[in-house]
């Protein structure tokens, strides 16, 4: 799954890459987390627009918003069949701009986070779906990221990864292409510029959102991150 990512690319660079007709004000985000609002790109009236949606899908038919936290990702292998995703897969696709994502590798009794990105911190898009839920006091628009099997180069970190679209030609296909074309894109990212870097465990806390999270750890920091922690001392009072 993918539960954290970064989007730190300058807005003007994103505007050019995604050819959006209007932009929203963006601050760099080094640790985007579920249930937070994030920029997504959708097609309306034949043009691409960037909007803010909340991460964690709420299907239009859902009686309430309680499932949002469990629908931050959708498995691409079953997206055309699962009730939570199939209608959005046909009618409501989006691009989710990013320049990296985080996964945690199990190490003994702990976990080491890694940032997965493209060389040069090049921006790309996740393949996403969005929904509009109208059963509350106000409408809520949400999105999810589609996942697939991990590329063999990062499978030792985690067995799943988000679907990455890095070629601008893919953006139009995902947003407006035929079903067969879109389905063919739901595969691991296999280009040579995929890299992964161990980063600080601070990324596990959603309150941390700063450039230092993107790493890399130096040797001293990595040794300290991997070292077993002493047991906490109980209070004397």
Of 81, 94, 103, 141, the active-site residue reads 103
Catalytic, 2? Answer: yes
**Residue 202 to residue 213: CA distance in whole angstroms:** 7
Catalytic residue among 2, 94, 141, 170: 2
Q: Which residues contact 16 (CB under 8 A, 6 or more apart)?
A: none
Is 138 considered catalytic here? no
Annotated catalytic sites, by residue? 2, 103
């Amino acid at each position: 799954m993918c539960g954290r990512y970064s989007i730190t690319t300058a807005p003007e660079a994103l505007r050019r890459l995604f050819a959006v007709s209007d932009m929203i004000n963006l601050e760099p985000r080094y640790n985007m987390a579920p249930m937070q609002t994030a920029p997504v790109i959708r097609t309306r009236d034949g043009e691409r627009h960037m909007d803010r949606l909340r991460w964690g899908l709420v299907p239009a038919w859902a009686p309430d918003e309680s499932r949002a936290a469990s629908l931050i990702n959708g498995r691409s292998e079953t997206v055309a069949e699962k009730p939570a995703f199939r209608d959005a897969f046909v009618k409501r696709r989006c691009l989710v701009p990013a320049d990296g994502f985080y996964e945690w590798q199990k190490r003994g009794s702990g976990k080491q986070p890694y940032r997965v990105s493209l060389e040069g911190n090049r921006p790309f898009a996740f393949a996403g779906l969005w929904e509009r839920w109208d059963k509350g006091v106000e409408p809520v628009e949400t999105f999810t990221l589609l996942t697939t099997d991990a590329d063999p180069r990062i499978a030792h970190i985690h067995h799943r990864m988000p679907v990455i679209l890095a070629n601008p030609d893919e953006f139009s296909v995902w947003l407006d292409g035929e079903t067969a074309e879109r389905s063919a894109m739901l595969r691991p990212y296999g280009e040579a510029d995929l890299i992964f870097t161990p980063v600080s465990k601070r990324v596990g806390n959603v309150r941390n959102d700063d450039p230092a999270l993107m790493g890399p750890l130096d040797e001293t920091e990595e040794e300290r991150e991997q070292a077993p922690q002493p047991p906490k001392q109980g209070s004397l009072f």
